[in-house]
């Protein structure tokens, strides 16, 4: 029996992602010195008619909070990474390395790229956590 898929860029999806991060010993180790919060912006594409702002507070190898921001101006995260649904799908399906995506500007970054580059292992473990969320993409 297969797990029921969760629609990407929804509160249910980010809650499952948050749980996977906090269950991951590999992420905990890779990100033990990481301090920084994010908006992952999913740009409108396919069935997604408006951008979705997924907020995530990552701190020393755990997720302290994750939710869909109803009012994006309510937070000013250290990092903002944005891309259309199809690009996020490539990352989650491990067809696009997140660092390569940033370097080629398929993923657009606002924030300190040098800090991200010092945390490549943590970024890769974070993506591995997304692969454990059974995902249905709104394309």
> Parallel, antiparallel, or unpaired: how do β-strands 62-68 and 35-43 relate?
unpaired
Statement: residue 2 has pLDDT above 90:
no
Instruction: Name the residue range of residue 119's domain.
Output: 7-131
pTM score above 0.75: yes
CATH number at residue 86: 3.30.1050.10
Q: Is the pLDDT of residue 1 over 90?
A: no
**Does 2 reside within a domain?**
no
* Residue 70 domain flag: yes
Distance of CA 24 to CAs 119, 120, 125, 127, Å? 16, 16, 8, 11
Domain presence at residue 138: no
Note the pLDDT tens digit of each residue in 70-107: 999 989 999 999 999 999 999 999 999 999 999 999 99
Q: Answer whether residue 126 is part of any domain.
A: yes
Which of 36, 48, 112 is CA-nearest to residue 86?
A: 48
Residue 114 falls within a domain, yes or no?
yes
Banded model confidence at residue 3, pLDDT cuts 50, 70, 90: confident
Structural domain tally of the chain? 1
Q: Could you tell me if residue 18 is inside a domain? A: yes
Which candidate, 15, 12, 33, 35, places its Cα nearest to that of 23? 15
């Amino acid at each position: 029996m297969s797990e029921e898929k969760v629609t990407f860029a929804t509160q249910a999806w980010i809650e499952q992602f948050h749980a996977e991060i906090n269950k991951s010993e590999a992420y905990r180790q890779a990100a033990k010195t990481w301090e920084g919060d994010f908006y992952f912006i999913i740009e409108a594409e396919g069935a997604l008619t408006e951008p979705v702002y997924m907020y995530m507070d990552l701190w020393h190898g755990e997720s302290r909070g994750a939710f869909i921001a109803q009012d994006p101006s309510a937070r000013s995260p250290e990092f903002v990474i944005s891309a259309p649904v199809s690009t996020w799908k490539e990352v989650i399906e491990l067809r696009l390395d997140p660092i390569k995506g940033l370097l080629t500007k398929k993923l657009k970054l606002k924030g300190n790229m040098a800090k991200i580059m010092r945390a490549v292992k943590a970024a890769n473990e974070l993506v591995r956590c997304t692969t454990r969320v059974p995902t249905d993409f709104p394309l």
